Chain A
Amino acid sequence: MKLTIEELQKKAAQIRLRTIEMIDTAGGGHIGGSLSAMDIMTALYFRIMNIDPNQPDDPLRDWFILSAGHKAAGYVSVLAARGYFEDALLDTFNKLGSPFGIHPDKNKIIGCEASTGSLGHGLPMSVGIALSLRLDNLQSNVYCLMGDGETHEGTVWEAAMGAAQHRLDNLIAIVDYNKCSMDGPINSIVSVEPIEDKWKSFGWNVIRIDGNDMASVVEALEGPHPSGKPTVIIADTLKGKGVPSIEGDYHWHYGFLNEEQLAQARKDLGGVSNG
């Protein structure tokens, strides 16, 4: 499936609305990060990655690892929209017996590649996946989406060193740089700057984009990327993107919209969820 930029923009708006509705039904969820990363996840699943929801175990597929597992609300909405499972299943989110909780469980969710949630695990797992793909002479890529605060974790940098050492050009990491962590603006807690220089000095190809601009997201993900080194996309995003009343506010790490905000969001996002 290769949607156009315009179609991807529309799709992202629809999935944003579905995510917001699902979080409202559940009574809470990681709304801010789910929305900031939505353009990236939509581009990956509806244009970039070689995947087939009817064959989730296809050995030739590309891999997506949601290292920032708390963005699962947005992630499972993307998987539903892409056809991995019925949309109605999303209404069980966070309920007893549901395949979906705040963090994704790969043994419960069709299409989910790894159980994540504890930060700093996805990139090193992606290193193992990328190495094994190369060992098997496969051309597939691994896309690993991290949060910006997640890069506080030391294991991110162990993996950053390892990926460069192993020249993993089949690994594309994306940092959802929405500038907010749980306790406040991230760079007032512990700064991740100079973020581009950090990754460059670790031996990575660095691309800086507006992560909420679909054309830029697609261009960065499509490449071509240089061979012989891993690529990281630093995606400047807005936490809560798509819902102006909460955009850029770190307090919206977790929560749900009230009735008035939800009605406004429906208008802002075109009124159709998951198309």
Chain B
Amino acid sequence: MKTIILLICINNLLVANSNYELKLYEKIFSTIFQNIPIKIYGDKSSTILLKASNRFEIRKICDENVDLIIGKNFTNLSSICKKKPLFATSYRWYKSQKNSFGTFYWRKGRPQIKFKKDSFKRFHLHLPQNLIKYAK
């Protein structure tokens, strides 16, 4: 059922509606992180999108309490932050950052979603069944 909902969300994303992109993030993060609201530190574009949801608590400072970092372009991340799980919004950031556990971005007009199995283990995160097929 969750898979179907996720697929519907991905499909809806194709109309490039940010509302659906937000819903996708809600589904993914709600299944990975159990504590709600999920405390998130993100870059500017991600923050604008995610603050519309009451499932997320947007943090202005990246400290110990942050559950998740999301974005694609961080210049100065603190050492604490570099140890937090990162969800990248670009392929390059996803590939280059050791703490990234997943990514969502658009390539050639098509949505791409990927997860790193190792990162899940490292951060003791739960990889839901419906996301396993996107994990490497």
Partners in one complex: no
